[in-house]
Each structure stands twice: as structure tokens, then as C-alpha cells.
Amino acid sequence: MRIDSLILRTAVRLVLPLTVLLAIYAALNGHNAPGGGFIAGLVTTVGLCTYRMAFGERAFHRLFPVHPRWLVVAGLGLTLVVAIIPLLAGEPLLRSASTVLRLGGQELHLVSATVFDLGVLVVVVGVAVGMITRLGEELGP
């Protein structure tokens, strides 16, 4: 179903990139402050759902050609790998590792929990987009 509104379509063109930026910020900030993969996934989903409402199902599938099921599988696989890697090193399950990367005089603090949050983000987007798509199919044309 598409809402035929020029104002909505114009606003979504501006808001979608901002929601993606906010989601990236929440995902990267999550290991040090409130936020993380779940919140970032919800923010991304809100942006994608408003895009679908504004432009319709066909435009949404051109923007987002991946079946949501594959996102869920990829996200779960990523979180599983990040959770199990510490076991191979003799550490407890889900043990987070960190390192500092020096780039041109700047220090970038990298934490494995960020990769776990990325997996959670992908799972949340996959599940939510899958539910929205299925609800759209149930409602019909």
C-alpha cells in the first residue's frame, strides 16, 4: 500500500538518510553508552517502513532487494561467530575483546561487542521488515 502524498515522499527522501546515520551512531555508540544494535535496527526499520509507505512496495523492493530471511540468517550467523570465537581462545562465551587502532595521530577504540551489535542490528531489520512485508501481503492491493 502506498500513501499518495508529495509532502511525505519529499520528507522521506530527506529523513531516510538521517535515520540511517542515527542508526549508525547508535550502533557504534552502544558499547560505551545506551544504544546498540537493537535500537539501531529499530531506527533503520522505521526509516525503511516510511520509505515503503511513501513510494510503495515495488520501489521498496528496488531499494531493499534482499529477502528479510537472509538478513536474519546473516545476523544470527555473525552474532554466533562473535559469541563463539572467545571459546576457541579459552575465554568465556561472549567475552569482548578490544584493541586500539592508530590512524594518522588519532586513536580508534575497537571492541568486538560492536560486531555483535551489528549482527543484532541485521537481525532486527530482517525480522521487522519481514513482518511489515507479510502484513502488506495480507492486506492485499
pLDDT in tens, the chain (141 residues): 677 888 999 999 999 999 999 998 888 877 666 668 899 999 999 999 999 989 988 899 999 899 999 999 999 999 999 989 988 888 888 788 888 888 888 887 778 888 888 899 999 999 999 998 888 777 766
Q: Give ∠ CA 19-108-100 in degrees, rounded to 5.
A: 140
Helix (H) or strand (E) holding 101: strand 98-103
Sign for the pseudo-dihedral over CA of 113, 118, 121, 127:
negative
- pTM for the structure as a whole: 0.84
CA 122, chain centre distance (Å): 4
**Cα torsion at 133, 137, 140, 141 (round to 10°)?**
50
